[in-house]
A and B are shown apart, each in its own frame.
Chain A
Amino acid sequence: DVKVTQSSRYLVKRTGEKVFLECVQDMDHENMFWYRQDPGLGLRLIYFSYDVKMKEKGDIPEGYSVSREKKERFSLILESASTNQTSMYLCASSGRGVADTQYFGPGTRLTVL
């Protein structure tokens, strides 16, 4: 079974803090993704990566950066957290094919005070 794990289920941070959200997958997938989910807006793509050290902006990259130093790990970084980044963050991974199923982690609910 594919397993995608995220470092925390719940996280509370203060405005201005630097926040790291970690995602690890165990299926040797090339592609990894970060989404956020907000009520009434659905899942929106923040960043994705199709290889180590490669990254591409998604639909809403502002205020975020990412890091992929190892194939199995994809980190989402909030350089200076703001209250409008309070959200549910989901990581996903997939094989190289464009139509490959994406497998999701359990999500991290981040609250920025």
Chain B
Amino acid sequence: ILNVEQSPQSLHVQEGDSTNFTCSFPSSNFYALHWYRWETAKSPEALFVMTLNGDEKKKGRISATLNTKEGYSYLYIKGSQPEDSATYLCAFTSGGGADGLTFGKGTHLIIQP
């Protein structure tokens, strides 16, 4: 079983502050790294899929970077808002055809007004 680690496990941030958290994954046999946002009582929602070393993706105030050689990805949120409160999951897949994702345990983000 592949190991995907996320840190921190939980995070409290003041509204308006920026924040970031980390996902680390096996650097060998890398194929893609996904980020999802999972709000309470909703389905996990895809944020980004990244496949290339050095990839940077952005969606509004949220962005992500990828380093496949050292096996980590950062997710950044600029100017946090209460609606950013959610669990952020990263998931790794190696190549080789259809496969499920190996998820980290998530970072639980709480934005305090």
Contact = CB atoms under 8 A, between A and B. Distances in A.
Interface of A: 4, 30-31, 33, 35, 40-45, 48, 50, 56, 58-59, 90, 96, 98-107
B1 A101 contact: no
Interface of B: 1, 31-32, 34, 42-46, 49, 51, 89, 91, 93, 95-106
A99 B93 contact: yes
Given A31-B98, A45-B100, A90-B44, 17 more contacts: A41-B105, A42-B104, A43-B91, A44-B103, A48-B99, A50-B98, A56-B98, A58-B100, A98-B32, A98-B93, A99-B31, A101-B34, A102-B34, A102-B46, A104-B43, A104-B44, A105-B43
Given A58-B100, A98-B32, A43 B89 contact: yes
Nearest to B51: A99
B42 A106 contact: yes
Contacts of A33: 100-101
Contact of A102 (B96, B101, B105): B101
29 contacts: A4-B43, A30-B98, A31-B98, A33-B100, A40-B105, A41-B105, A42-B103, A42-B106, A43-B89, A43-B101, A43-B103, A44-B103, A48-B98, A58-B100, A59-B100, A90-B44, A96-B98, A98-B93, A98-B97, A99-B31, A99-B93, A101-B34, A101-B49, A103-B43, A104-B43, A104-B45, A105-B43, A106-B43, A107-B43
B50 to A, nearest CB: 9
Contacts of A107: 43
A30 to B, nearest CB: 7
A100 B45 CA distance: 13
A90 B89 CA distance: 14
A42 B100 CA distance: 14
Nearest to B43: A104
Contacts of A42: 89, 103-106
B99 A99 contact: no
Nearest 6 interchain pairs by C-beta: A50-B98, A45-B100, A99-B32, A42-B105, A43-B103, A104-B43
